[in-house]
Amino acid sequence: MGLFDAFRYDGKRVLVVGGATGMGAAAAELAQDAGAEVVVMDFAEVTLAGAKAIHVNLAEAASIDAAVDECGARVDALFSCAGVADGTPGIERINFIGHRHLIERLLANDMLPRGSAIGMISSAAGLGWEPNLAQLHELLDTPDFDSAVKWVEANGKADYMSMKQAMCAYVAREAFPMLKRGIRINAICPGPTDTPLAQANREVWLGFGSDYRGETGIEPSTPLEQAYLLVFLCSDAARAVNGITLISDAGYMSSGMTGSFPGATEIANLLLNR
């Protein structure tokens, strides 16, 4: 065995939730190329050859339960990639509550063994979660799918930013209890990435940071560029990494925080809740 083999997935079973398109599809293909047996869950049709496809509706707990039962066996790496934009009915369930329920079902069924890892896709919209942690604890303390949905409805948090903040807080809070079970959990916070969802919201999602990209001479990320990070975080090569939300935005937020690119400072401070 060579040292670089820690980056590979030979002999591992990978579950990609939201793996039909975009970053999820890229992560599924990349994991498969790295040697993994891949299972893809999605509401949309899955087209990756060689992958087991399972239909799931993250807005419905019963659908998630059935999908987990159909998945069966162990899951060495879980990529939680599904997400929708503001205005989508059930956004709070699809973008966070459903993912949490799926993870809890995998844990209850002992399907995440010691040495496994979870990688989630959050967003720059979720970065300012720390000042809201007291309220986010209330959501994370809800015991199940239905009570979480009721909390979101009661508190008016059924929106993209609130659910991405919940995801970032969840990753940070679960780092310790997950690791006691031998499981790591991390997330990436991508910058503008050219996915079908981004194209459907092009003016806002791909317009964000266009001035920065213009001055640095770069394009929006590709789904594969973001998938590289997600697959790395769930590989054995990242064993020392746990409980982080990795900002993968080509330096936009850092440039705004430090003032090296003044055009990003106001939005960086807004997103970071500073």
pLDDT tens for 16-55 read 999 999 999 999 999 999 999 999 999 999 999 999 999 9
pLDDT score of 200: 84
Mapped onto helix, strand or coil, the DSSP state of residue 236 is: helix
Residue range 52-66: mean pLDDT, rounded = 98
| 151 has a pLDDT exceeding 80 | yes
Mean pLDDT, residues 136-144 taken together: 98
User: What pLDDT score does 88 carry?
Assistant: 96
Share of the chain above pLDDT 70, in %: 100
Q: What is the mean pLDDT of the chain?
A: 96
Is pLDDT at 1 greater than 80 in this prediction?
no
- 3-state helix vs strand vs coil in the chain, percent to 5: 50, 15, 35
pLDDT tens digits for range 192-221:
888 888 888 888 778 888 999 999 999 998
pLDDT of residue 194: 86
Q: What is the pLDDT of residue 217?
A: 97
- Note the pLDDT of residue 48: 97
In this predicted model, what pLDDT tens digit does every residue of 154-194 receive, in sequence order? Answer: 999 999 999 999 999 999 999 999 999 999 999 999 998 88
Residue 27 CB partners (closer than 8 Å, separation 6+): 16, 19, 79, 81, 119, 227, 230, 231
Say which residues have a Cβ less than 8 Å from residue 33's Cβ, sequence separation at least 6. Answer: none
Backbone angles phi, psi at 251, to 5 degrees: 95, 5
- Measured CA distances, 199 to 58, 206, 250, 255 (Å): 22, 7, 19, 25
| Average pLDDT value for residue range 60-65 | 98
* 150 Cβ contact list (under 8 Å, min separation 6): 142
pLDDT of 95 higher than 80: yes
Q: What is the pLDDT of residue 52?
A: 98
Q: Band of the pLDDT at 274, cuts 50, 70, 90?
A: confident
- In the three-class reduction of DSSP (H, G, I as helix; E, B as strand; rest coil), residue 31 is classed as helix
For every residue of 70-138, which 3-state class applies, written as one string?
Answer: HHCCCCCEEEECCCCCCCCCCHHHHHHHHHHHHHHHHHHCCCCCCCCEEEEECCHHHHHHHHHHHHHHH
- pLDDT on residue 123: 94
Task: Report all structural domains of the chain as residue ranges with CATH numbers, in order of start.
Answer: 3-271 (3.40.50.720)
Q: Can you give the pLDDT at residue 192?
A: 87
**Burial of residue 194, with CB atoms counted within 10 A of its CB: 0-12 exposed, 13-18 middle, 19 or more buried:** middle
**Is 0.85 topped by the overall pTM?**
yes
The pLDDT assigned to 43 comes to: 97
